[in-house]
Amino acid sequence: MKPRDLDLINQLVLKTIESLDKSNNDIERTCWMVLHEHHHGLMPFEYDVREIDETLYLSVLNEIKERLKK
């Protein structure tokens, strides 16, 4: 993975963690919303089904879960 890809993943991880409430129950949803905003320039609205980069989503989600384990 390129360093700029790692930088992007780190930025999205931090933004997702900041967006989470005190509980981590909705990590997947919050992560998807942050990636949606990154990709489309705005947060999703109700029933928004536009696609996001699934590989990036999974990379960010895995990194978030690793960091929250600690």
* pLDDT at residue 52 in the model: 94
Using alpha carbons, select from 68, 32, 70, 27 the residue that is nearest to residue 50. Answer: 32
Per-residue pLDDT of 23-39, as tens digits, reads 677 999 999 999 999 99
* pLDDT at residue 3 in the model: 78
Regions of the chain short of the pLDDT cut 70: 1, 22-23
* pLDDT at residue 49 in the model: 86
* pLDDT at residue 23 in the model: 67
- Provide CB contacts within 8 A for 15, sequence distance 6+: 34
